[in-house]
Structure 1
């Protein structure tokens, strides 16, 4: 298990490339889902300094707030509601350059300007989602999608 996170400067791909083996080290041998989500959220927040990084877990047909880093958040989100609920319903990553332009956006924080939501799919079902918010417009792109999808695939 890694004890210290090495923060790397550089372009986005270089940062993810450095972070990915460190996340693998954090998760290695740990089977507790909450512990793994907590460490992934912390590692991503430390590396990128995003406004909010966290997980929602599918429980009783709702998304329920899980481990996160950042300001307080919405506790429960229904399917098809906002970016998170839409990603869950569609079982695909959503990149939203301007959350104000997203129909039905749920404003948990007025500071959030753009968002990426990545579903965690196990046995063909979405079991959780990774939600990342930025205070900058159009902050996320296909590079984020590629690496964040790779990262969530590591979570047990």
Structure 2
């Protein structure tokens, strides 16, 4: 339907529209799996130059694969391991320019070159992460980080 670089030519406006679409899509729905599934589909449709978009959910002291769009992925990620586990451990977004330079990177898809992971905490408890991979080095910039964090903040109210 639209992409960040060609829809309106204004990345910020495009992200703001996507967040409004997320709210409309999830309004009135309480099922977490359904909401995460639609959120990953919306991101996959919206973002260009990505090869994986999805969620890992916190279960039994590890991250477990949740709803996603892309090739089959690693099922379990231990606390503090890889980009996703590090995002939870450090409780902050990880924006990785080149995953091959990240110590302990877990390569689920050899095509991935850069990654952004936003940790999700609800009521100060770990819920999971939003994980987005790209086959392009340095795909994600500060604007992406700011608006993907806003996307997660919006999504949390439907979880």
Q: Once the 2 structures are TM-superposed, how far is the Cα of residue 91 of structure 1 from its aligned partner? A: 1.0
Gaps of 5+ in 1: 1-5
Alignment of 1:43-62 (within 5 A): 43-49=42-48, 50-62=50-62
Alignment of 1:104-115 (within 5 A): 104-115=104-115
Tell me, yes or no, if the aligned pair for 1:82 and 1:105 is still in contact at 8 Å: yes
Q: Once the 2 structures are TM-superposed, how far is the Cα of residue 47 of structure 1 from its aligned partner? A: 1.1
The corresponding residue for 1:120 is: 120
The corresponding residue for 2:2 is: 7
Tell me, yes or no, if the aligned pair for 1:91 and 1:126 is still in contact at 8 Å: no
SS of residue matched to 1:63: strand
Please identify, of 6-15 and 24-33, the stretch whose mean Cα deviation from structure 2 is larger. Answer: 6-15
**Distance between the aligned counterparts of 2:2 and 2:27, measured in 1?**
20
Q: Once the 2 structures are TM-superposed, how far is the Cα of residue 20 of structure 1 from its aligned partner? A: 1.2
Tell me, yes or no, if the aligned pair for 2:37 and 2:67 is still in contact at 8 Å: yes
**Distance between the aligned counterparts of 1:149 and 1:30, measured in 2?**
21
**Distance between the aligned counterparts of 1:134 and 1:47, measured in 2?**
13
TM-score for both structures, normalised by structure 1: 0.93
The corresponding residue for 2:131 is: 131
The corresponding residue for 1:91 is: 91
TM-score for both structures, normalised by structure 2: 0.91
**Distance between the aligned counterparts of 1:36 and 1:151, measured in 2?**
13
Alignment of 1:33-72 (within 5 A): 33-49=32-48, 50-72=50-72
**Distance between the aligned counterparts of 1:18 and 1:107, measured in 2?**
32
Q: Once the 2 structures are TM-superposed, how far is the Cα of residue 71 of structure 1 from its aligned partner? A: 0.7
Tell me, yes or no, if the aligned pair for 1:41 and 1:67 is still in contact at 8 Å: yes
Q: How many residues align?
A: 151
The corresponding residue for 1:143 is: 143
**Distance between the aligned counterparts of 2:118 and 2:94, measured in 1?**
7
Q: Once the 2 structures are TM-superposed, how far is the Cα of residue 57 of structure 1 from its aligned partner? A: 0.2
Gaps of 5+ in 2: none
